[in-house]
Structure 1
Amino acid sequence: MLVQSCPVQQSRTYLTDLVFPPDTNHHNTIFGGKVMAYVDKIACIAAMRHCRKPVVTVSSDSFDFLAPIKTGEAINLEAYVTWTHRTSMEVFVKVESENLLTGTKRMTARAYLTMIALDEEGKPTLVPAVVPETEEEQLQHEKAKERYELRKKRKAEV
């Protein structure tokens, strides 16, 4: 079965939310688990936009927390499909904090997740290839095969 290719732009997804006190720990910074939930959710949306099918998360790797996000700041997330295999999609998610009073933004986290597309019976199904267009998208795409091989090796060692 031939599956149409899709540009990265089709999957590109943005999410912004305000960090309130119930979202934070005793340091007045957002809980890491809350950030991870945002990342998983936006990766799911990006993958579904790419393949137009239900998806599940099968892997989260290279999840790096770089800086805290404080109460009262905005959390900004961007996600897009960087690479596809037969039934899987690698999704890159970038997380920034934004001080809404000064406009200052800083990178706070980044992650790669692997999502699998499912058919009507809940079985893995083919996904469209991804077509990178910008320089950043092409760089992500070029390095994705190496990340895929590392994930495969890591799974085999378990």
Structure 2
Amino acid sequence: MVKKASESLVVMTELVLPNDTNNFGNLMGGRLMYWMDIAAALAAMKHCAAPVVTASVDNISFETPIKIGNVVHIEAKVTRAFNSSMEVHMNVWGEDAIQQYRYKSNEAYYTFVALDPNGKPRSINALEPETDDEKKLFEGALRRRQIRLILGGKMKPEDADELKALFVK
């Protein structure tokens, strides 16, 4: 079965309370990563209709801090499905509801693995991107996967054909 990327979209909203902040009144990075993990897992589960576990977290870039009292919006969507794993891209937005403006806080890629009833990896649905943005993320996902596999010691750099294509003519 093939599913559309849009079918996995999850938008999670949280209010930044005092217990969520550091000494500077900014949302703690660890708390944000926790919320992002939940949103990404929900998107992955929507795609594969199975329990999932986080396999990797990479490229979390913190651009703008989110202040106490602001709202956090996490948009998560599956970008590509492989055999049993899938990549989820997230954009995080802060919102000052009083001043009524929204700002980009960060983005990241998480990888999840779908599990069967015995807790073993299981095959998942293929993914079909529709929009130009979805197609761009879909195409880049294979290269990002190869980087993750190399860094994790599961692939030799010389076997990363998609990455070699970027540098070797």
The partner residue of 2:114 within 104, 111, 117 is: 117
Q: Which residue of 1 aligns with 2:51?
A: 54
Higher Cα Rg, which structure: 2
Once the 2 structures are TM-superposed, how far is the Cα of residue 102 of structure 1 from its aligned partner?
2.2
Deviation digits for residues 43-100 of structure 1 (CA, Å, limit 9, x no counterpart)? 0000000000000001000111111000110000000000011000000011110010
Cα distance in 2 between the residues matched to 1:14 and 1:57: 18
| Alignment partners' CA distance in 1, 2:150 and 2:114 | 21
Q: Which residue of 2 aligns with 1:40?
A: 37
Matched, 1:102 2:107: no
In structure 2, how many angstroms separate the alpha carbons of the residues matched to 1:57 and 1:137?
22
Aligned residue for 1:136? 133
Q: Does 1:64 align with 2:66?
A: no
- Correspondence for 1:6: 3
In structure 2, distance between residues paired with 1:144 and 1:102: 37
Unaligned runs of 5+ in 2: 155-169
Deviation at 1:135?
A: 1.1
Aligned residues: 155
1:28-47 C-alpha deviation (Å, 9 max, x unpaired): 01111000001100000000
Which residue identity does 1:49 align to in structure 2? K
Stretches of structure 1 that go unaligned for 5 or more consecutive residues are none
Q: Distance in 1 between matches of 2:147 and 2:60?
A: 15
Identify the residue that residue 123 of structure 2 maps to in structure 1. Answer: 126
1:32 and 1:136 map into 2 onto residues whose CA distance is 27
Determine the structure 1 residue equivalent to 2:85: 88
- The two structures have a TM-score, normalised by structure 1, of 0.95
CA distance in 1, matches of 2:139, 2:103: 26
Runs of 4+ in structure 1 deviating by more than 3 angstroms, as ranges, are none
Deviation by residue 1:109-153 (Cα, 9 ceiling, x = unmatched)? 111000000000000000111111111111100111110111111
Helix, strand or coil: the match of 1:82? strand
Aligned-partner Cα distance in 2 for 1:127–1:102: 43
1:155 Cα deviation from its structure 2 partner: 0.9
| Aligned-residue CA RMSD (Å) | 1.2
TM-score when normalising by structure 2: 0.89
One-letter amino acid of the structure 2 residue matched with residue 105 of structure 1: R
